């Protein structure tokens, strides 16, 4: 590993102004992550949210933002209970893309996991990922 690089610091989302508040609330209120800081620079709002293993930066665009996979295929969160998180997201009215399922990735050694995918408030695709 390159000694000058520590790892991924944050992932960034760029929702439209209409989706900005919902995106921040999705991560802070629904998923219960901590808001580290927020700012307004030249009329554009931004927030940094602590996800536990890294940060999520949310900066609104100056217009209608591309949704989800235009710039981010998916974002995976390491979790302890895939099913409970899916029910939390479903109860809040968000789309579940892939219901919780057990898989074994065919690596050496085999990698048993439980995963599910949903859509976040800015249109991003999220994965809940648990090593079994």
Residue 100 pLDDT: 98
Answer whether residue 3 is part of any domain: no
Q: Which of 7-21, 24-38, 60-74, 91-105 has the lowest mean pLDDT?
A: 60-74
Q: pLDDT tens digits, residue range 39-90?
A: 998 888 999 999 998 999 999 987 665 555 455 678 889 999 999 999 999 9
The domain that contains 92 carries what CATH number?
A: 3.10.180.10
* Share above pLDDT 70 across residues of the chain, in percent, rounded to a whole number: 92
Q: Residue 18 domain-assigned?
A: yes
Q: CA 1 to CA 125: how far, in whole Å? A: 29
The DSSP code sequence of 102-118 is: EEEE-SSS-EEEEEEEE
Indicate the number of domains in the chain: 1
Chain-wide mean pLDDT for the chain?
Answer: 89
pTM, 2 dp: 0.78
| Domain extent at residue 97 | 10-131
Measuring CA to CA, how many Å separate 132 from each of 81, 103, 111?
10, 9, 8
Are 122 and 58 in contact by the 8 Å Cβ rule? The answer is: yes
Query: Does residue 1 fall inside a structural domain?
Result: no
């Amino acid at each position: 590993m390159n000694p000058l690089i520590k790892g991924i610091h944050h992932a960034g989302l760029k929702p439209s102004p209409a989706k900005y508040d919902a995106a921040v609330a999705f991560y802070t209120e629904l998923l219960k992550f901590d808001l580290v800081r927020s700012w307004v620079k030249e009329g554009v709002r931004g927030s940094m949210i602590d996800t536990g293993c890294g940060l999520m930066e949310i900066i609104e665009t100056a217009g209608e933002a591309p949704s989800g996979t235009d710039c981010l295929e998916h974002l995976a969160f390491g979790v302890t209970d895939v099913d409970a998180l899916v029910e939390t997201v479903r109860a809040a009215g968000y789309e579940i893309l892939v219901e919780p399922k057990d898989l074994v990735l065919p690596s050496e050694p085999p990698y048993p996991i439980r995963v599910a995918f949903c859509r976040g408030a800015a249109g991003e695709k999220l994965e809940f990922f648990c090593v079994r």
